[in-house]
Amino acid sequence: MIKRNLLVVGFEISLLFSFVVGYYRDKTCAELQVNNSSVICVCNATYCDTVTREEPHPRRFMVYTSSKAGLRFKKFTSILEVFDLLTECSTTLELEPRKRYQTIHGFGGAITDSAAINWSNLKDEELKQNLIESYCGDSGIQYNMLRVPIGGTDFSPRFYTYQDYPERDKDLSNFTLAPEDLNYKLPMIKACMKASNASIDILGSLWYPPAWMKSTKKSNGISFLEEEYYDALALYHLKFIKEYYKQGVPIWGITTTNEPLSGITKHANDNVLGWSVYGLANWIVNYLAPKIKRYDPSIKILGVDDQRFTVPLWFNAALKHVPELGRAIDGIGLHYYENELVPPEIVDRCLKNYPNLFVLSSEASIHSQTNNKVDLGSWDRAEKYIKNIIEDLNHNYTAWIDWNVCLDKMGGPVLSKTYLDSPVIVDPDAGVFYKQPLFYAMGHFSKFIPKGSKRIQSMEKYNCGDPIKHVAFSTPMNTIVVVVFNDKNKEKVVRLKLGYSQAKVLLEKNSIATVEFHNDVIDESCDCEK
């Protein structure tokens, strides 16, 4: 018995030692308090905070916490206990790994012209690398998806496409990547690919085609694609895919036009392209999909690429015009905007009869109607992301992609002067960049829910208070990951029940916690919905 106890004590000491080593391997946030907001973390050429995922040991769980009070991926470990059914109220999340839902593609952000130019403006190479590592490296939040515009957007220094001239050339004989691609976007994408130990999936999206293809012959304003150029625009996408491949950047998927509704509404002053419902469906089924799938059937084609409330328009109404649309696309991309006005159940209903299609969030950003600029240290904006990501994941979204990965202190540069916030704000003159609460909000998902993870059933029980927002996954490493969000201004204890074991977690007030432990419930005959 004494020998056995000594072995147990020795084992616990070794676990503690490995945790301490891992804890001190990380660089903590160089905090800067901003007004009455939460903190931002300052990175320069010689110092930038990091976070290392700790392999959870048997019979223990790991907790990573970020909070309004200033915690950033604070680590805590403790022992899994035997579950005790208490008589008093005690929030319990009951996990069932054998009940599985969608498979995760990943998390990421967009390498726009503005983002890549801002990154390039950081003249110190070590500082630039710190930003890349923060997003894509093992010591960062490990993005594995990047969205890249096919040509220019509102977050570009100018209006441009890949063949502005010669006009009316349906063969696109002068199709050429822009200086913005060669000098900014591609170098940043390649830097992320080099820093990552996992493959990075690239999603391309078109904002607008060459003006000579459009009904108005202008880059912006309400307009439609001339039908005589339907095949030329499909070829435009294919040439983009081929040119990026030549540059060493394979394209994982494309969307079928960014926010097509904007091209026929008051937002059309931006560089956009409008479609009719029939026109878009017809173009996808008879021009885009055949051309792309003949070249490479593995490339994903995502429809809609617009707000959640437009799914009945660009998908369901389009199906009535062109029923083949449901087989021509692989999934749909949805944007974050106006989600608070439209319940996610609308997506569930619209896709109910199409289990072969997946849905992901392809764009998100935040600005204020009264103050469009960057709000340094805003925890409120982080909360909006956290709540939306949890909601989307619980409604079978397979990925969540943010908009600009970095912007300047004004929230640009941007052609339309509609400045936005970003998880990372760069200040080249000071030789620093700032990690916003938004950055850590994204990281609590992207860092710990790798590609191939499956959402599992998690049911809240024994709670006498407000429901707690959460989502749970089984990972390819045979661990369980649970993300829990406490939006109240008081601490809360949550018990995560797996079989006969429980992890008792203290949630800080106004905080997000990611919890990970080994999955001891293994049954390959799972009840999988997707």
Just list the catalytic residues.
Answer: 259, 363
| Per-residue buried b or exposed e for 144-175, using 16+ beta carbons within 10 Å of the residue's own CB | bbbbbbbbbbbbbbebbbbbbeeeeeeebeeb
In terms of Cα–Cα distance, which of 364, 350, 356 is closest to 319? 350
Please, which residues have CB within 8 angstroms of residue 196's CB and are 6 or more apart in sequence?
Answer: 136, 137, 142, 143, 144
Tokens encoding 98: 């054998």
Q: How far apart are CA 69 and CA 379, in angstroms?
A: 9
Contacts made by residues 12-20, CB under 8 angstroms, sequence distance 24+: 15/57, 15/60, 15/77, 18/54, 18/57, 19/54, 19/75, 19/77
DSSP 8-state code for residue 264: G
> Which one-letter DSSP state was computed for residue 340?
G
Beta-ladder partners of 433: 43, 426
Cβ-Cβ contacts under 8 Å for 320 (sequence gap 6 or more): none
**Residue 521 to residue 456: CA distance in whole angstroms:** 12
Report yes or no: 400 and 372 within 8 Å, Cβ to Cβ.
no
Which pairs count as long-range contacts for 316-321, CB under 8 Å and 24+ apart, including other chains?
A: 316/350, 317/277, 318/277, 318/278, 318/280, 318/281, 319/281, 321/277, 321/278, 321/281, 321/282
Q: Give the span between the Cα atoms of 120 and 127, in whole angstroms.
A: 10
CA angle 78, 83, 86 (to 5 degrees): 115
**What's the first-to-final CA gap in the chain, in angstroms?**
49
Enter the DSSP assignment of 227: G
Amino acid type, 465? G
The identity of residue 391, as a single letter, is: E
Q: Is residue 462 packed enough to be buried (19+ CB in 10 Å), middle (13-18) or exposed (0-12)?
A: middle
Name 150's Cβ contacts closer than 8 Å, sequence gap at least 6.
Answer: 162, 204, 205, 206, 207, 236, 237, 240, 254
Express the helix, strand and coil content of the chain in percent, nearest 5 each: 30, 25, 40
CA neighbours closer than 13 Å in the CB half-sphere of residue 325? 25
